[in-house]
Amino acid sequence: MDKIPILKMSDFLLVTIQVDLYDQLAENLESDLINMVKKYNSHGVLIDISAVSIIDSFMGRILGNIAMMSKILDAETVVVGMQPAVAITLIELGLPLKGVHSALNVEKGMALLRSKIHNIEQDISIPADDSSTE
Does the footprint of another protein cover residue 96 (CB under 8 A)?
yes
CB 102 → another protein: shortest distance, Å?
4
CB 35 → another protein: shortest distance, Å?
27
CB 90 → another protein: shortest distance, Å?
6
- CA geometry: angle 133, 43, 20, nearest 5 deg: 165
Q: By C-beta, is 19 or 111 nearer to another protein?
A: 111
Total of chain residues touching another protein, rule CB under 8 A: 20
Which of 10, 72, 84, 130 binds another protein (CB under 8 A)? It is 84
From the list 13-21, 35-43, 91-99, 121-129, the region that binds another protein by CB under 8 A is 91-99
Q: By C-beta, is 61 or 101 nearer to another protein?
A: 101
Does the footprint of another protein cover residue 91 (CB under 8 A)?
yes
The full DSSP string for the chain is -----EEEETTEEEEE--S---HHHHHHHHHHHHHHHHHHT-SEEEEE-TT-----HHHHHHHHHHHHHHHHTT-EEEEE---HHHHHHHHHTT---TT-EEESSHHHHHHHHHHHHHHHHHHHHHHHHHHHH-
**Residue numbers of the site for another protein (CB under 8 A)?**
79-80, 82-85, 87-88, 90-92, 96-97, 101-105, 108-109
